Amino acid sequence: MFCGNCGKENPEGAAFCGSCGAPMTAGETPGGQAPVKNTKANRRNRLIGLGAVVGAVVVLALLAWLFFALFGGRGPEDVAVRYVKAALVDQDAGAVVGLMPKEYVQKVVEDMYTSRSELIDDVEDELEDNADGIEDEYGEYTLKIRTRGVEKWTEDRVERYNGYLESYGFKTRVQSGADVELHLTLNGTVDNDSQDLTLSAVQIGGKWYLDFLEDSFF
């Protein structure tokens, strides 16, 4: 006979199921077939539970995608770290240019180059020369980047910055800005070094970019 609760086979005349302990007074099936109804119900419940988990994961993924779509997927500290990594570790000129506002890149290309790819080639040469100089002094090196703090710009600084953009003919306006304090630790085969570095980032259209005017403005 089979248990009406778990479906396990038990000896004829058993008072309790030897597997789950349920009384064998109701729901048992004599003879050869285990009860099908209960097994299907359990399977259906498991599938319902699995479907709920999968649904929750899909909802979370959609919310994450929406957040990145609306807010640009990066904050000021992320921009600063990406820039240092692209410039000093990967020598990735495309990534460096990608951290600049589009209008600024377009203006640089129009004034100094024939195409965006020519600009990237020039930046790549500069990055490689810089990396060679570091290796000459420190040997092959690794770089650790740590964020020490972020200071948001005041409204007055944002206003002055936008005035500077306007005076140079840029249509772009920033909504916010921030100074990011980094600590760089360089470990080389010849020598080691560490340095504090402050980079600025600006928010344009909800997205954060490297402050391309920092050196000439402040």
Tens digits of residue pLDDT in 76-130: 999 999 999 999 999 999 999 999 999 999 999 999 999 999 999 999 999 999 9
Which of 214, 188, 204, 175 shows the shortest CA–CA distance to 83? 214
What is the per-residue pLDDT for 209? 95
Q: What is the Cα–Cα distance from 177 to 161, expressed in whole angstroms?
A: 9
pLDDT at 202: 96
- Which bin fits 27, alpha (ψ -120 to 50), beta or left (φ > 0)? left
1-10: list long-range contacts, CB under 8 Å, 24+ apart: 1/28, 1/29, 1/30, 1/31, 2/28, 2/29, 2/30, 2/33, 2/34, 2/35, 3/27, 3/28, 4/28, 4/29, 4/35, 4/38, 5/38, 6/38, 7/34, 7/35, 7/38, 7/39, 8/34, 9/34
Band (60; pLDDT cuts 50, 70, 90):
very low
Amino acid in position 92: D
Quote the pLDDT of residue 36: 45
CA distances from 201 to 152, 169, 214 (A): 10, 20, 9
Instruction: Convert the pLDDT of each residue in 172-198 to its tens digit.
Output: 999 999 999 999 999 999 999 999 999
Whether 96 and 127 have beta carbons less than 8 Å apart is answered as yes
Please report the pLDDT score of residue 65 as a whole number.
38
Whole-angstrom distance, CA of residue 140 vs CA of residue 134: 8
> Average pLDDT for residues 46-67, to the nearest whole number?
49
| Domains detected in the chain | 76-217 (3.10.450)
pLDDT at 69: 39
E strand or H helix that includes residue 6: none
Point out which residues pair with 149 in neighbouring strands.
Answer: 181
Query: Which residues are CB-contacts of 108 (< 8 A; sequence separation ≥ 6)?
Result: 119
pTM for the predicted model, two decimal places: 0.64
Q: How far apart are CA 134 and CA 205, in angstroms?
A: 36
